[in-house]
Structure 1
Amino acid sequence: MSPKRTEMNSFLPDSPVRFRRMWVNCALGFFFIAALIGLTMRAFPLWDIPYFDYRNLLHTHSHIALLGWGFLMLSGGIVFSLASSSAELRRFTWLFVAAVISILGMLFSFPFQGYGGYSIAFSSLHVLVSYGFIYQIHAMLRKENSTPGIRLIRLAIWSQLVSTFGLWALGPVNIQLGKMHEFSLMCVQWFLHFQLNGWMVFGVLGLIFIQFEKSGHSFRWAKYQEMLLLASLILTYALAVTWAAPSPLAFQVNSLAVILQFVAYFFLMKAMFEGLRKVSMVPMAKLLLQLAAVSLLLKASFQLLLVLPSVAVISYTIRMYVIGFLHLVLLGVMSFGVFGLAVQKDWLPNHLLTRLGLWFLIAGFSFSELLLFGQGTLVWMQLGFLEHYHVCLFLASGLLPIGLGLLMIQVFTFKIPLQKPIKNQINFKTNKTLLMKSALLWSLGISMMLLTACGGSSEQTAASSESATASPQAASSDPKGIGEVKSVDLGTGINPTLAEEGQAIVDMKCTACHQLNDKRLVGPGFQGVTNRRRPEWIINMITNVDVMLDQDATAQKLLEECLTRMPNQNLSQADARGILEFMRRNDEEKAGQRDAAVN
């Protein structure tokens, strides 16, 4: 073949290089969309956002970030790092198409229906597609030498597989026990735990070590260290158990697990920093990998603090800590890790616009993490809220889509450089139409079957709920709630001093999850609450929240709607009375009426 013909083939839309570019661009596009949705969520405490429900946007953001960006980019990094021929890459064509279809389906269903028939169908389709990725990647791994990088990738794909067991268990558990049962929460946490701490952490570490190994740097990773890492992954699930159903044994297991994890990470980080010193790398790529390593060390250090049960409880009851930790893994460890490798491998062009976009990402991540962990610590210490906290968090989060936008401009406009073709390269146009049609029909067929299977879930869940209500353990429907407060003297008007005291407590402990209008944030808005709930119910909900969520029918319904358990803030009845007075004043100002529930 003539040189001119070779040059033309390298620019064919179906070439391996073009396929890789399409894969990376799709992952970046989903990351950009997830960042925009996240920015919209940050705007909820600041402005009235019409048409969209916060909870639905939260589900959309988490699915697109975790699956559209995280899964797609990490799986692509593994595929294009290990594939030795175009024939191997062709095996992933239909899987890639099906994955994109499932993610697009989630993107266009979750914002409007939350968890519903279509969104569940597309989510389930993505799980099935992930099994295809696991099978094909496992086949590639069998041909590789058992180096530390390959062993980590193997652990990563097994973690991906194990994480999905929680999703398949979720349906039967919800039908039999209800959505709010502790086992239902544990199923969700099972998926998230093995996704973040297994699939993503092990996957990006494996890719980094494979890059070092291909650059000539090798190191020894003893078998006992691998077993230590695996044991720590399994045992740290105990923290999720304590979140759903606190028990002394779970706290003790978690304390042991985080110590084992810290030791296991120590060996890996020691090898990683040694590789960063010895392997010649692009400066920007080296910086990003260093940030990924630092993020992993911070993750391990923060979790090491959870050996104290009191700190472990704080870690999942203060929302800022939960969000900050999730971002530390997904953005700090996984995203910076794969971005560093993409720059090093020239999957992202090392140009000025790329570096500028990455610096925006670094700044947005750093500022938002400082705000989240800083404000979480202030809440823990009962020192109130930072001035303009929500404005600052919105501005910091705005740096992320700006950076991603610059990256997308760069990758969508730069010309693909001439590269050596992968050995045994064949034309991707061969049977392209057949592949694409079969992938599309397969994906749509699976979606329709899953949608049909989901058709009776709502009725079954409702029947389960009715059955639970009719049982001897049925939740109380007393309009005054459950607790020591049986009557409240509201007086003849608003007590301004008491209302001011209540506002100070609300500003310090409540505004992270509740707005003063009627819009839902994490929990429902405060506007109109005194017109819907009796004052005794409100005070009991504040001072006796755990019992109320377990036994009060109204509180349980709110928990089912919000899917986030309200933490016990250890407030006194006097504190709660001040909050009630502030709520009465807020309703008088915003709703034009207060205390309608008493009349």
Structure 2
Amino acid sequence: MLIKRNKSLILYSLLLFVISAIYGLLLRWNFAFPTKIISYKNLLQGHSHVAFLGWGYLALIGILLCLFITKEKQKNNIYNITIITIIITIFLMLISFIASGYKVFSIALLSIFGVVSYVLSFRLLKDISGISTSHKLIRFGVYYYLISSLATWFLAFVIITQGKTELYYNTVYFYLHFLYNGFFVFVLFGILFKILENQEIIISERLKKNFFIYLNVACIPAYVLSVLWSTNNLAFNSVGFFAAILQLISLVILFRILKQAYVQLQWNYISKLLLKYSMVAYALKIVAQLASSLPYFVSKSLALKPFFIIGYLHLFTLAFMSVFILLILNQLKIISFKKLSSKIGIGLFLLGVLFTELLLFSQGFLILLQLKAINYYNQLLLAVSFLIVVGLIFIFSSQFIKQRNIIK
């Protein structure tokens, strides 16, 4: 019953991912064919909140319950109450952000979500008490989630007292940094290491510990990379560069871990493809952060925000995080890619994400180098966003199609 409930929770989060992608498609439509039917700002807020909280956060919570929390512990009412409350609040956010944007109702829902997620986080920290590297990664991921959430409360104070100043944007970046590079990265790799342990894949414990140490030491100072746009102090660039180098070292260690694991994997072609795809995206993310510590790229990224910064955000959320989650769900046999429709869906999704990144960064570099920009850029982005949506619909719907047993 608990396994079935966790699977339902994760499929619900996958549905939210589909809806978030549809919101993203509507945003692209608004660029290609401007309309005032739906507020762009409201749509953007709905898209981002549902993607982070409905897909990323909720899917990972479901996976943690499957992998790290015993059936007996899951019977605790805290899990039942908090998860049901989170499901309801996220569903209401789908409507509230579109209808009224970041106003009273949406703020109330986010506040409820925040308080309830605290209760859930502390319960997880109590129940995930192992000493392995995978357990440590999960616990620190939860710590970083709690740190990131502090920005949501402080943000209200900043808006009331100062408005949308530099402090406002740096507070938003504080939230995103510790959510992305803290919670999502640590929890995702903790889950991957746990899966490899369960599959009896032999990996050097020393390498896993070193990966955790370098990644952890880099996390807090790496926030500086997010605020370089608001200062010319080279000391901040130095701190950011140091943090980026630590992340680069952790990436090298990660590749050594994956090299050891890969030769032992008994995964199918799609799982291996998803692993390679997400790891390339993660490596590009690290390289992008290293480049962002250099003053030249800081100024250019700001000037070309619609391309480089948006490209980076999608590189993380789609090419790395989402692909990684799909890989994990496939390994846990929560979703399947055996059916033709699901395979087509994965292909369309991966191509859509790849073309999106190519368009965003290519247009940015063409403008940076003062070369001819891509013609019909917004229309092309709309087309590749359509691939993403169709791919996700195929993946989601295929999970409810029963495989026919052909008896000869």
* TM-score, normalised via structure 2 length: 0.93
Correspondent of 1:202 among 186, 203, 206: 186
Write out per-residue CA displacement over residues 211-253 of structure 1, whole angstroms, 9 at most, x where no aligned residue.
1111112322465543321221111111222224443222221
Shift, 1:86, TM fit: 4.7
CA distance in structure 1 between the aligned counterparts of 2:341 and 2:75, rounded to whole angstroms: 30
1:7-46 deviation per Cα after TM superposition (whole angstroms, max 9, x unaligned): xxxxxxxx12320221122101110111001001101122
Instruction: Please report how far the alpha carbon of residue 202 of structure 1 lies from its aligned counterpart in structure 2 after TM superposition.
Output: 1.3
Write out aligned runs for 1:242-281 (5 A).
Answer: 242-281=228-267
Equivalent residue in structure 2 for 1:404, among 392, 398, 401: 392
Correspondence 1:103 to 2:90: yes
Query: Does 1:368 find its partner at 2:363?
Result: no
CA gap 1:371/1:164 in 2 versus in 1, 3 angstroms = same
Amino acid at match of 2:34: D
Secondary structure at the aligned position of 2:6 is classed as helix
Q: CA–CA distance in 2 between the matches of 1:302 and 1:277?
A: 29
Distance 2:293 2:321 in 1: 25
Could you list the runs of 5+ residues in structure 1 that have no partner in the other structure? 1-14, 416-599
Amino-acid identity (%): 28
**SS of residue paired to 1:386:** coil
Shift of 1:87: 4.3
Q: Return the match for 1:171 from 156, 169, 182.
A: 156
CA deviation string 1:128-167 (max 9, x = no partner) = 222122122212211x2x2222221122111111100111
> How far apart are the structure 2 equivalents of 1:33 and 1:235?
35
Where does residue 126 of structure 2 map in the other structure?
Answer: 139
Residues 435-475 of structure 1 show CA distances to partners (whole Å, capped at 9, x for unaligned) of xxxxxxxxxxxxxxxxxxxxxxxxxxxxxxxxxxxxxxxxx
Aligned match for 1:389, one of 373, 377, 384: 377
| Residue 290 (structure 1) aligns with | 276
Equivalent residue number for residue 315 of structure 2: 328
- Is the alpha carbon distance of 1:37 and 1:237 closer, same or farther for their aligned partners in structure 2, counting shifts above 3 Å? same
Mapping 1:60-209, distance limit 5 Å: 60-88=46-74, 91=77, 92-142=79-129, 144=130, 146-176=131-161, 178-209=162-193
Q: Structure 1 residues 337 and 225, CA, compared in 2 at 3 Å: closer, same or farther?
A: closer
**In structure 1, C-alpha distance between the alignment counterparts of 2:250 and 2:67, rounded to whole Å:** 25
Distance in 2 (CA, whole Å) between partners of 1:90 and 1:315 is 47
- How many residues in Structure 1 have an aligned counterpart in Structure 2? 398
- SS state at 1:278 partner: coil
Deviation at 1:290, TM superposition (A): 1.6
SS in 1 for 2:381: helix
Judging changes above 3 Å, is the alpha-carbon distance between structure 1 residues 110 and 244 closer, same or farther for their aligned structure 2 residues?
farther
TM alignment of 1:213-228, pairs within 5 A: 213-217=197-201, 218-221=203-206, 223=209, 225-228=211-214
- 1:337 paired residue number: 324
Instruction: Classify the secondary structure of the residue corresponding to 2:307.
Output: helix
2-structure distance, mates of 1:287, 1:62: 27
Q: TM-score, normalised by structure 1?
A: 0.64
Distance 2:120 2:402 in 1: 29
CA contact (8 A) 1:148 1:221 kept: no
CA RMSD in angstroms comes to 1.8
In structure 1, how many angstroms separate the alpha carbons of the residues matched to 2:132 and 2:378? 46
Cα-to-partner distance string for 1:494-546 (whole Å, 9 max, x where unaligned): xxxxxxxxxxxxxxxxxxxxxxxxxxxxxxxxxxxxxxxxxxxxxxxxxxxxx
Render the CA deviation track for 1:410-450: whole Å, top value 9, x for unaligned: 123448xxxxxxxxxxxxxxxxxxxxxxxxxxxxxxxxxxx
Aligned to 2:406: none
Higher helix proportion (structure 1 or 2): 2
Whether contact under 8 Å (2:6, 2:65) holds in the other structure is no
How far did residue 89 of structure 1 move?
5.1
CA displacement at 1:339 relative to structure 2: 0.7
Partner of 1:377: 365
**Cα gap change, 1:255 to 1:20, in 2 (>3 Å):** same
- How much does 1:97 deviate? 1.2
Paired with 1:317 and 1:80, the residues of 2 have a C-alpha distance of: 44
Residue aligned with 2:189, SS:
helix
> In structure 1, which of residues 56, 59, 72 is the aligned counterpart of residue 42 of structure 2?
56
The residue type paired with residue 311 of structure 1 is F
Residue aligning to 1:314: 300
Q: Which amino acid aligns with 1:293?
A: M
Matches within 5 A, 1:436-515: none
Q: Which has the larger radius of gyration?
A: 1
Question: Which one-letter code corresponds to 1:116 in the other structure?
Answer: K
**CA shift for structure 1 position 320:** 0.9
1:269, distance to aligned residue in structure 2 (A): 2.7
Matching residue's letter, 1:385 = A
Unaligned runs of 5+ in 2: 404-408
